[in-house]
Structure 1
Amino acid sequence: MNNIGNSGGVDLSDLTRIDATPDEVGAFALADGDFLFNTRNSRELVGKTCVFRTFSADPVLYNNNILRATFIDEFSPDFLDYWFRSPRGRAELEKLKSNTTNVCAIYQGKLSTLPCVVPPLAEQHRIVAKVDELMALCDALKARIAAAQTTQLQLADAIVEQAVA
């Protein structure tokens, strides 16, 4: 559950290795395109989602704090991932959260009542492609801003050095 990013995606750089029986691997191994939903966590982290992408031949298993969903062909897991992470999706998830002392949860029964308008598959793919394009643009802009800030600091240091010299 800690490998699902707060803004989507999955970070597999820090995995816990376990001994699993063949039956456990068969039941809990993730497949490319599986939609993952964090059912239990702190209030701000419950409801994190991602689409798992295979990265090696070694199986990756999920734990009991994760709901794995495999969709029929009419649903894009990437579209639903973006929807769950959208302001509207987050607001809908917020209504489903229930707390105990230290843990917040959204379970499958409540999740199945969540209203979500899903357009035809071709439109889902178009939306995902557009969001991916815009996210790449945002990443490029962030990189340019960071580079400009570095240049600005270097220029300020050079000016101070010249003024002191």
Structure 2
Amino acid sequence: MLRRINPKAKIITDNPQCRNLPLGWTLCQLRDLCSFLSRGKSPKYSETPNLYPVFAQKCNLKDGDISLSQARFLDETTIPKWPDKYRLRDGDVLVNSTGTGTVGRTRIFKAEYLGDYPFVVPDSHVSVVRSFDEIESTFIFYSLYCQDGQQYFDENLAGSTNQKELYIDVIGDRNIMLPPINEQKRIVAKIEELYFVLDQIEASLRS
């Protein structure tokens, strides 16, 4: 499957994990699953609110959600300097990439977060992981959001204690065990089913 999506993809064969992969699965690097993998850019901000928010790290909420309520806004005269690829799309995985405490925080963007805004662009402290259309983006999200993914980020941070950096190459180097698309969807559905059950248990304990 991967060769059809990205003929240039490097399939990993010299890792002990390869021997234990189910039939049809592939071990590869995240970069080979992405149509766009990049930090955002440093914006010029508007002094007043407008229709063009900038996605900052604080938009990736601690509780697991995303909100643009605290976003600052882009200077409208600079919009032509932002190619369309920087406009966040449904299914983009967003990773906070700077600063102790929030670096590595991973969320998935949904079009509904835009509300009435026509688009939103990421600042330079947020990394965008956009997988090919043939890959289930939520599967990629859980591969980075899971304990193993977060541990990988923690172990590969650069910089001083108070200014940790998660470089885009580190994100791209992350190994992903990629199953066929139907299995990706099944795994995502099972994870979300279990999260739903956990939410119900937490709600019952609070009541």
TM bucket by the smaller chain?
0.7 to 0.9
Question: In structure 1, how many angstroms separate the alpha carbons of the residues matched to 2:62 and 2:70?
Answer: 16
Tell me if the contact between 1:99 and 1:105 (Cα under 8 Å) persists in the aligned partners: yes
TM-score by length of 1: 0.78
Tell me if the contact between 2:97 and 2:165 (Cα under 8 Å) persists in the aligned partners: yes
Q: What residue number does 1:32 align with?
A: 90
Q: Does 1:19 align with 2:85?
A: no
Q: Does 1:50 align with 2:110?
A: no
Q: Between Structure 1 and Structure 2, how many residues are aligned?
A: 146
Tell me if the contact between 1:39 and 1:106 (Cα under 8 Å) persists in the aligned partners: yes
Question: In structure 2, how many angstroms separate the alpha carbons of the residues matched to 1:103 and 1:30?
Answer: 26
- Out of 132-141 and 4-13, give the one that drifted further: 4-13
Q: What residue number does 1:161 align with?
A: none
Q: What residue number does 2:191 align with?
A: 131
Could you tell me the percent identity over the aligned residues?
25
How far 1:65 moved relative to its partner? 0.5
Tell me if the contact between 1:9 and 1:52 (Cα under 8 Å) persists in the aligned partners: no
How far 1:22 moved relative to its partner? 2.8
More strand by share: 2
Question: In structure 1, how many angstroms separate the alpha carbons of the residues matched to 2:92 and 2:63?
Answer: 17
Question: In structure 1, how many angstroms separate the alpha carbons of the residues matched to 2:146 and 2:182?
Answer: 20
CA deviation digits over 1:65-104, x for unaligned, max 9?
Answer: 1111221134222112112121111221122111225211
SS of residue in 2 equivalent to 1:139: helix
How far 1:107 moved relative to its partner? 0.7
- Out of 20-29 and 60-69, give the one that drifted further: 20-29
CA deviation digits over 1:40-80, x for unaligned, max 9?
Answer: 121x3211111111122412221111111221134222112
Computing the radius of gyration from Cα coordinates, the structure with the larger value is 1
Question: In structure 1, how many angstroms separate the alpha carbons of the residues matched to 2:190 and 2:136?
Answer: 14
* Structure showing greater relative contact order (alpha-carbon pairs closer than 8 Å, 6 or more residues apart): 2
Give the CA RMSD over aligned residues: 2.0
Q: Structure 1: any 5+ residue segments left out of the alignment?
A: 148-165
Residues 53-72 of structure 1 aligned to structure 2 (within 5 Å): 53-55=110-112, 56-58=115-117, 59-72=119-132
Tell me if the contact between 1:8 and 1:85 (Cα under 8 Å) persists in the aligned partners: no
Question: In structure 1, how many angstroms separate the alpha carbons of the residues matched to 2:58 and 2:92?
Answer: 17
TM-score by length of 2: 0.63
Residue 86 of structure 1 aligns to which amino acid in structure 2?
C
CA 1:133–1:38 in structure 2 vs 1: closer, same or farther (change >3 Å)? same
Question: In structure 1, how many angstroms separate the alpha carbons of the residues matched to 2:97 and 2:177?
Answer: 21
How far 1:25 moved relative to its partner? 5.0
Q: What residue number does 2:148 align with?
A: 88
More helix by share: 1
SS of residue in 2 equivalent to 1:69: strand
